[in-house]
Amino acid sequence: MTATMNSSTGGAAQQGKTLNVTLKVWRQDGPAANGRFETYEAKTISEDSSFLEMLDLVNERLNDESKEPITFDHDCREGICGTCSLMINGVPHGPERNTATCQLHMRKFTDGQTITIEPWRATAFPLIKDLMVDRSAFDRIVESGGYITVAAGGAPDGNLIPIPKPVADASMDAAACIGCGACVAACPNGSASLFTAAKIAHLNLLPQGQSERYKRTESMVETMESYFGSCTNHGECQEACPKGISIDNIALMNKDYLKSKFKNRRYLSRS
Amino acid sequence: MRNETQLSSITIDSKIPAGPVAEKWENHKFSVKLVNPNNKRKFDVIVVGSGLAGASAAATLAGLGYNVKIFTFHDSPRRAHSIAAQGGINAAKNYHGDGDSVHRLFYDTVKGGDFRAREANVHRLAEVSVDIIDQCVAQGVPFAREYGGLLDNRSFGGAQVSRTFYAKGQTGQQLLLGAYQALAQQIGNGTVKLYNRCEMVEVVTVDGRAAGIVTRDLVTGQIQSHSAHAVVLATGGYSNVFYLSTNAMACNVTAAWRAHRKGALFANPCFTQIHPTCIPSSDEFQSKLTLMSESLRNDGRIWAPKNRADNRLPASIPEDDRDYYLERLYPSYGNLAPRDIASRAAKRAVDDGRGVGPLQNGVYLDFGDSLKRLGPDKVTERYDNLMEMYERITGESPYETPMRIYPAVHYTMGGLWVDYNLMTNIPGLYALGEANFSDHGANRLGASALMQGLADGYFVLPYTIGDYLAPQLNQKPVDTKHEAFLTAERSVTDRFSQYLAIKGTKSVDHFHRELGKIMWDYCGMERNETGLQKALSEIPALYSEFKKDLRVLGDGTSLNQSLEKAGRVDDFFQLGYTMCQDALARQESCGGHFRSEYQTPEGEAQRDDENFAYVSAWEFTGELSDARLVKEPLEFEAVALATRSYK
């Protein structure tokens, strides 16, 4: 039970637990400019505020001092759109497991703490400004095969394709990926294997995904490799993933990739 | 005091096909003109927005053979706010044999919308709902399944059947990813060209027709024109006019508003939906409110203490001192009463001094009974991510203590006026999804937003757009060197330079917050004439301060988030004014529009069908000046006008 729930007054007096933190923030005016750390004091931050609301407040104060606010990506602020990023004290999305930066709250930090904030750092994610990077390479991977071909209007009745519940659940677990890029930022090789594998597993596990299974796998893996590094089983991606996507998906991807090399050749020789 | 509403001289034709409501769409599909498959590639279509409606429309049009350009201000099309929808999507499949049918979904939606929606559109929506599920299953959307492998359903507010399909608590995400993947396939094929981090900032018309758009590249600040044979706006709703809402931070009205300024009518702007189950705000610096899916009301019971200022812990409040007010007031629907009704009931409890939580600004949503009945595992399976999300935000576990909830602005039923073909009154300019006004009347039922977005994109626009394009065969789109484009580019450049040139003292967020307070206080869950008049005098005062005292630092030639936001907040001011005007002119209560002067003795909304059974479509006359009204009368042939009752 939390302190607020024990409130006997029930009034506003109970809220107002605040903390002061020191921020070391990566500032970089553009892709070609030199970057640097700037230090900001974030004072009297409510512990109920989210990490990004803390940054909003810092920005509001910077604006008051005629200093340009910090640029960072964010949107839904409920952990689902995958727009937010941030390396917080060297950990993608910060210290709380299975939590995207936007859902991280200041109660997870201590008064007087120094917090270092950096952008995702990966060759395939070129920096745009300050803490914002370009993750378009993810779109290129999906474009290369992360779909099931079906024209609107041509689908059979939904219940004509029964799917065992455990299969549907496993597919859903992989499909939960929000495409934030934490896996890439965490990987010493800058690999997007977890992202790619999650999409491949989502579709390859389903009966609907079988027709294009091997074409999809070969194409997506090779597109991924053309932008990102390769997987050498560090497992950092799984630790960093805000949605808890398992590296088991990478095993499935690797198996299907290997098979694709035989299957796709066989299909080609027939055509 | 403002003058009486001025009527516009514009005439509109809703193009509702003749015949019985159940046959209109079938007949209409046969009567619209078609474009031969080989000729489709001769047409260029611009789609703005990549949410459910935009992505599904772009993917489908490209699949048919049209050349499509899609624009999103996000870094990737997959980020659109459709992704945040949690609970589900309705469809009249009747897979569970519990009495559902196309007619029942149609009926529930018309009634749920408090008889302010167009019957013909709603019936079409109910008809195509079944195709949407088939389409999404085929795309690989991992809907929840029963052990036999068939699709599972849950029930939602405003319905007495189980017709809601879902993918855990992430249905919006999975449907959007389905549409995004279909779009990505077309992008990969080269049939759709994607412009990301690129915001539409102007609509261009030539000879009264949509000719294209002007965009601002958010990374470089470059202003650019794009022309096409038709322009499709699928740019979502405008809940962020209230500053605090459940919408994502970047959701805005700019695209729709810029179209409105160019002559497109804006319909029913005051029809906004307050979602009953959001997490109450914790302090002033809160940036947004978080919604907890309405599906939680399937297994959670809503209550407030019977006594005012009851400060005991929820567990220490005995049953006799709890007021399960929805179950008491609406026994047949209980906790699943429609959103507007559930929201107002919560407001009444809190206004009565029976609110709970540190700020006494919420009511309880209690899973105690369900945890006993179903066990924690079943509850986890149904609502896992929602339970976790709540705990992450509040630091309290819903398994141990009831959730605290309070209504928040969530969805806007109003939007650009469109005819049956989804075309605005500007020929060639279409509006889809939440950006249009057509299907939800004065109140949207839960799990119907996803249905409408995908219906418009997959199954309506692809049929109706041919009717407009076919006669233009072999005509080139207007050249972007045309004077209309050059003028639009100049005005956009000037507008953004002006925000930078003000060099005042207050941030964009400051003005947005202040505007939001006015809107919430006077045009929020409950409205009245005095308040609305007050808003109509306060908004212009704040707006002129915005124009004099705004501080946007940095420049316009590189990425500048404050500058982007300045343009959006500017448009929110203008919209806010028209919303209040609309709310003032509609002297009745209906659905989400509750005027305290017009209520039944029990405090329910009192409609005035005699005088207000029409769509209010507004014509732009200038910034913060009184818009002129066009009325589209609503006729109810298949569903008899009746007072909504959920008792």
Q: Which residues of B touch A99 (CB under 8 A)?
A: 392
B5 Cβ under 8 Å from any chain A Cβ: no
The kind and range of the H/E element at B193 are strand B192-195
For residue A111, the distance in angstroms to the closest alpha carbon of chain B comes to 18
Q: Which of B143, B360, B400 sits opposite A10 (nearest CB)?
A: B360
Q: Under an 8 A CB cutoff, do B137 and A155 touch?
A: yes
Question: What are the residue ranges in chain B where pLDDT is below 70?
Answer: 1-3
Q: Of the candidates B80, B286, B291, which has its C-beta nearest A53's C-beta?
A: B286
Burial class (CB in 10 A: 0-12, 13-18, 19+), B568: buried
**Contact present, B292 and B278 (Cβ < 8 Å):** yes
- pLDDT for residue A177 is more than 90: yes
- pLDDT score recorded for residue A8: 32
B396 close contact with A: CB closer than 8 A: yes
List chain B residues with CB under 8 Å of A12: 358-359
| DSSP-H helix ranges across B76-146 | 102-112, 119-139
| Distance from the A136 Cα atom to the nearest Cα atom in chain B, whole angstroms | 7
For chain B positions 546-575, those within 8 Å of chain A (CB to CB) are 551, 553-554, 558-559, 561-562
Contact status, residue A92 vs residue A182, Cβ threshold 8 Å: yes
CB contacts, 8 Å: A171 with chain B: 140, 142
Is the minimum CB–CB distance between B620 and chain A shorter than 8 Å? Answer: no
Question: Two tokens at B551?
Answer: 């501080």
Q: Is A168 on the interface with B (CB under 8 A)?
A: yes
A93: left (phi over 0), alpha (psi -120 to 50) or beta: left
pLDDT (average), residues A99-109: 96
User: What's the pLDDT score for residue B285?
Assistant: 76
Instruction: Write down the pLDDT at residue A154.
Output: 86
Residue B340 has what pLDDT? Answer: 85
Do B78 and B70 meet the contact criterion of CB atoms below 8 Å apart? no
Q: Please tell me which residue of chain A has the smallest CA distance to B356.
A: A10
DSSP A155-197: PPPGGGS---HHHHHHHHHHHT-----HHHHH-TT-B-HHHHH
pLDDT of residue A16: 63
Q: What angle (nearest 5°) sits at the alpha carbon of residue A42, between those of residues B252 and B511?
A: 30
- Kindly list the residues from chain A whose CB atom is less than 8 angstroms away from the CB atom of residue B63: 151-152
Phi, psi of B304 (to 5 degrees): -130, 155
Instruction: Quote the tokens at residue B432.
Output: 């889809």
Residue B2: its pLDDT value, please?
57
Find the largest Cα–Cα distance for chain B.
75
Which of B453, B52, B249, B86 has the alpha carbon at shortest distance from A176?
A: B86
Which among B95, B189, B285 is the top mutation candidate for probing chain A, defined by the most A β-carbons within 10 Å of its own β-carbon?
B285
Choose the closest CB to B184 out of A77, A147, A202: A147
Residue A198 is predicted with a pLDDT of 98
Contact B377, B309 (CB under 8 A): no
The Cα-based distances of B404 to B127, B169, B359, B398 in angstroms read: 37, 19, 11, 9
Least CB-CB distance to B139: which of A145, A148, A169? A148
What whole-number distance in Å separates Cα of residue B514 and Cα of residue B294?
A: 29
Q: Could B185 and A147 be called an inter-chain contact, meaning their C-beta atoms sit closer than 8 Å? A: yes
Which ipTM did the prediction report? Answer: 0.94
Nearest to A199 by CA among B177, B2, B626, B319: B177
Query: Which residue out of B339, B344, B354, B404 is catalytically annotated?
Result: B339
- A82 contacts B79? CB cut-off 8 A: yes
For residue B28, give every residue at least 6 positions away whose Cβ sits within 8 Å of its Cβ, in sequence order, or none. Answer: B17, B420
Asked if the C-beta of A129 comes within 8 angstroms of chain B's C-beta atoms, the answer is: yes
Find chain B residues with C-beta within 8 A of A53's C-beta: 285-287
> How far are the Cα atoms of A170, A201, A209, B144, B277 from residue A205, in angstroms, in the given order?
8, 6, 7, 15, 35
Report whether A200 contacts A252 (CB < 8 A): yes
In whole angstroms, how far apart are CA B62 and each of A145, A151, A152, B163, B186? Answer: 17, 10, 11, 31, 7
Please confirm, yes or no, whether B339 is among the known catalytic residues: yes
Is B81 close to A81, i.e. CB distance below 8 A? yes
Q: Do B181 and A142 touch (CB under 8 A)?
A: yes
Gap between the Cα atoms of B620 and B533, Å rounded = 19
Is B478 in contact with B484 (CB distance < 8 Å)?
A: yes
Averaged pLDDT of chain A:
93
Pairing of strands A91-92, A87-88: antiparallel
Q: Is residue A96 within 8 angstroms of chain B, CB to CB?
A: yes
pLDDT of residue A6 exceeding 60, the answer is no
From residue B281, alpha-carbon distances to A60, B272, B509, B516 in Å are 20, 19, 18, 14
* pLDDT tens-place string over residues A78-87: 999 999 999 9
8 Å CB contact of A81 and B83: yes
Share of chain B above pLDDT 70, in %: 100
- A vs B: CB pairs below 8 A: 251
